[in-house]
Amino acid sequence: MRPIQLIRGFLTVGLWTFLSRVLGFARDILIAARLGDGPVGEAFFVALTLPNMFRRFFAEGALNMAFVPLFSKKLQDADDARTFARDAFSGLATVLILFTLLAQVAMPWLVLALASGFWGDERFEMATDFGRVIFPYILLISLAALLSGVLNATGRFAAAAAAPVLLNITLVSAMLLADPLGWDFGWALSWAVPIAGIAQLALLWRAAAQAGFLLKPRWPRLTPDLKRLAIIAAPAMLAGGVVQINLIVGKQVASRFDGAITYLNLADRLYQLPLGVVAIAIGVVLLPDLSRRLAENDVAGGREALNRATEFALLLTVPAAVALVVIADPIVSVLYQRGAFDAEAAAATAIVTAIYGAGLPAFVLQKVLQPLYFARHDTKSPFRFALVAMVINAAVAFGFYSLIGFTAAAWATTIAGWAMVWLLWRGSRDMGDAAQPDARLKARILRIILASAIMAGILVGVAWLLGGSLYAPWLRYWALAGLILAGMVGYGVAGHVIGAFKLSELRRAVRRSPAPG
């Protein structure tokens, strides 16, 4: 891909991801308003975490990182690529069916592994029951993730990026229908998850079939290609397991404080908006592109793609991080403070949001740097780095929660995130010219930081002028909108004037970017 095509790919994926995240906000706003920081909400969030945790382990964080580079190289022979994809699909389905059945039996222990603080109260039984209903989602979404890898490798990004929207549409619909139809709210949410998984898998299976990859399940077979896939994927799966251990550590710490799991989950949703729009878009588009370029020994093209991806990531991520830190209180108040979710809960969530915001650039840069390793079939180095980050995460979370409470879990995530970036960057210095920053990137990083600092000053000043209107009923919505608009305009003007970006480049990319869908 040329740089402009790369940016168009980012925008296509980013727009759909943004829509999914907005609907995710609607989902969490409804949950918070109805359940507050009470036991049903916490039980549901833990139950939902279980399949998502293992999904990242089996599919998005491991198999696809190994599958996409191998599949991309096979696309020169369509029949060979199709056979490889079918074998991978069948093998993954077999493993996950067995794993799902095992999880049904082990569900109480899985809940305790994630939230031992639930033991002895009503949250434990509810989380176990909800978990048994929700867990089959891992089978559906992991197969959907493999189909997404097929589509992304062939340059078809829209369907794979649109599929997550179906989850939030289904959950929001279930919540809106629960009261009129007399459904229990917690059970309605739980059953909506596997239903959404079926819809996502159906959408992607049809899109892959239309692209020439009709993947019908068949009896699994261990071919030489699958053996190679397993060998490459194993370290990535272990690295994914390390990341999930970090998640478990956070949940374990939070489960010791009433309401803390809800605060962390809602704050996570806020920083996941820019993280999803930017990082997922980059990861989805950059990995196949880098894999093709390295296979063709196109060092200059690989360096250009990596540098423009980094530039694009920081251009959007740094100001978003600054905003989450500087105006976390009004953002959380407007989005979540209503119904059963009171001012005290909103204040606790805002603190965690600001801490996560400080780590946002690190979480995105990981997505930029990791494809350098995966495109070279090096999954062992990221695993070693993840182990170091895991130790740091556990040391901070367990070492400081008695002093600073549940916020230790958020600080642990942010500090470990920056440690991981430093390790990935240091390891990439031995990869040759393709991994080196060019002069344009070095200059623009400093200018992006300066423009973001100017935006921070504007946000602080405008927030001071708006005062109590940011928290007044009804008026707060317009006040926050005005505050965010002032920050965006300030960043845009400052960035253009000091050369952090060129508006003509962004207009050209947007104009040539296909509409979502």
Q: Could you tell me the maximum CA-CA distance found in the chain, to the nearest angstrom?
A: 67
pLDDT at 319 over 90: yes
**Which one of 127-141, 149-163, 369-383 scores highest in mean pLDDT?**
127-141
Alpha helices in 183-259 (DSSP H): 185-210, 224-254
pTM > 0.95: no
- What are the pLDDT digits (tens) for 71-97? 877 887 888 888 888 888 888 889 899
With tokens 């989005």, the residue in question is: 335
Q: How many CB atoms lie within 10 A of CB 133?
A: 17
- What are the pLDDT digits (tens) for 151-201? 877 777 777 778 888 888 899 899 889 888 888 888 999 999 999 999 999
**What residues does each domain of the chain span?**
36-246
What span, in angstroms and rounded, lies between the C-alpha atoms of 148 and 60? 10
pLDDT band at residue 265 using 50, 70 and 90 as cut-offs = confident
What integer pLDDT is reported at residue 312 of this predicted model? 81
The 3-state DSSP composition of the chain as helix, strand, coil percent (nearest 5) reads 85, 0, 15
Least confident of 19-33, 38-52, 95-109: 19-33
Which uninterrupted H or E stretch holds 503?
helix 503-512
- What are the pLDDT digits (tens) for 462-478? 999 998 898 888 888 89
Q: 216: closest CA among 86, 93, 92, 75? A: 86
Least confident of 174-178, 337-341, 351-355, 393-397: 337-341
Rounded mean pLDDT of the chain? 83
pLDDT band at residue 58 using 50, 70 and 90 as cut-offs = low
pLDDT at 239 over 70: no
What integer pLDDT is reported at residue 259 of this predicted model? 82
**Which pair of tokens denotes residue 120?**
């002895």
Instruction: Write the CA distances from 235 to 52, 101, 137, 230, 333, integer angstroms.
Output: 19, 25, 24, 9, 42
